[in-house]
Amino acid sequence: MYRTAFLDLPALATAGGTVSLPGSKSISNRVLLLAALSQGTTTIQDLLDSDDTRVMLAGLKQLGCTITPDAVTPGQPIAVTGIGGRLPAGTAATLFLGNAGTAMRPLTAALAVLGGNFEMTGVPRMYERPIGDLVDALRQLGCQIDYLKDAGFPPLKIGQPDFSAWSDAPIQVRGDVSSQFLTALLMALPLQAADKAITIEVVGELISKPYIHITLELLARFGIQVHNENWQRFVIPAGSRYQSPGAIHVEADASSASYFIALGALAAATPGQTGVRILGVGKDSIQGDIRFVEAAQAMGAQVESGPNWLQVGRGTWPLKAIDLDCNHIPDAAMTLGVMALYADGTTTLRNIASWRVKETDRIAAMACELRKLGATVEEGADYIRITPPASATGWKAASIHTYDDHRVAMCFALAAFNPAGLPVRIEDPQCVGKTFPDFFESLFAVCDTPAQQIPVICIDGPSGSGKGTVAAQVAERLGYRLLDSGALYRITGLVATRAGMALEATNAERIAALIAAQQLEFTSDQRVLVNGEDVSLAIRTEEAGMNASKVSAFPAVRSALVGVQHAFRALPGLVADGRDMGTVIFPHAPLKVYLTASVQCRAERRYKQLISKGLPANMQALFADLEARDARDMHRAAAPLKPAEDALQLDNSTGTAEEAVQQVMDWWAARQPFAPAAQG
Ligand X SMILES: O=C(O)C1=C[C@@H](OP(=O)(O)O)[C@@H](O)[C@H](O)C1
Ligand Y SMILES: C=C(OP(=O)(O)O)C(=O)O
Binding site for ligand X (CB under 6 A): 26, 101-102, 178-180, 183, 207-208, 211, 330-331, 354
Which of ligand X, ligand Y, none does residue 652 bind to, with CB < 5 to 8 Å depending on kind? Answer: none
Q: By C-alpha distance, which of 396, 423, 422, 424 is closest to 410?
A: 424
User: Which residue, 108 or 507, has its beta carbon nearer to ligand Y?
Assistant: 108
Q: How far is the CB of 385 from ligand X (least distance, A)?
A: 21
**Residues flagged as binding site for 3-phosphoshikimate:** 25-26, 30, 178-180, 208, 331, 358
Residue 435 interacting partner from ligand X, ligand Y, none (CB closer than 5 to 8 Å by kind):
ligand Y
CB of 26 to ligand Y, least distance (A): 7
Q: Is 331 an annotated catalytic residue? A: yes
Q: Confirm if 359 and 125 have CB atoms less than 8 A apart.
A: yes
179 binds, among ligand X, ligand Y, none (CB under 5 to 8 A by kind): ligand X
Alpha-carbon distances, residue 253 vs 114, 246, 247, 282, 625 (angstroms):
30, 22, 19, 10, 59
Nearer to ligand Y, 11 or 432 (CB): 432
Query: Among ligand X, ligand Y, none, what binds residue 211 when CB lies within 5 to 8 Å by partner kind?
Result: ligand X
Residue 308: CB minimum distance to ligand Y, A: 22
User: Residue 547 binds which entry of ligand X, ligand Y, none, with Cβ cut-offs from 5 to 8 Å by kind?
Assistant: none
Least distance in angstroms from the C-beta of 100 to ligand Y = 5
Question: Which CB atom, from 115 or from 175, has the smaller least distance to ligand X?
Answer: 175
- Binding site for phosphoenolpyruvate, by residue number, is 25, 101, 129, 180, 362, 407, 434
Long-range contact set of residues 358-361: C-beta below 8 Å, sequence gap at least 24: 358/101, 358/129, 358/330, 358/405, 359/99, 359/125, 359/403, 359/404, 359/405, 359/406, 359/407, 359/408, 359/434, 360/125, 360/403, 360/404, 360/405, 360/408
CA distances from 205 to 109, 140, 201, 300, 661 (A): 21, 20, 11, 31, 56
Catalytic residue among 289, 331, 405, 428: 331
Smallest gap from residue 185 Cβ to ligand X (A)? 12
Q: Based on CB atoms, which residue is closest to ligand X, 282 or 288?
A: 288
Instruction: Please check whether residue 407 is in contact with residue 366, taking contact to mean a CB–CB distance below 8 angstroms.
Output: no
> Cβ(348)–Cβ(272) under 8 Å?
no
Q: Is 342 exposed, middle or buried (0-12, 13-18, 19+ CB in 10 A)?
A: buried
Residue ranges of the annotated binding site are 25-26, 30, 101, 129, 178-180, 208, 331, 358, 362, 407, 434, 461-469
CB under 5 to 8 A by kind: which of ligand X, ligand Y, none does 100 bind? ligand Y
The minimum distance between CB 557 and ligand Y, in angstroms, equals 51
> Which residue number, 130 or 159, has a Cβ lying nearer to ligand Y?
130
Taking the C-alpha atoms of 449, 252, 53 and 33 in order, what is their torsion angle to the nearest 10 degrees? Answer: 170
Residue in 488, 525, 461 with CA at minimum distance from that of residue 664:
461
H/E stretch holding 309: strand 309-313
Q: Which residue is nearest to ligand Y (CB)?
A: 101
- What is the spatial distance between Cα 562 and Cα 553, in angstroms, rounded to a whole number? 14
Residues that bind ligand Y (CB under 6 A): 99-102, 331, 358-359, 407, 435
Q: How far apart (Å, rounded) are the C-alpha atoms in residues 338 and 343?
A: 10
Of the pair 406, 550, the CB lying nearest ligand X is at 406
Residues with catalytic roles: 331
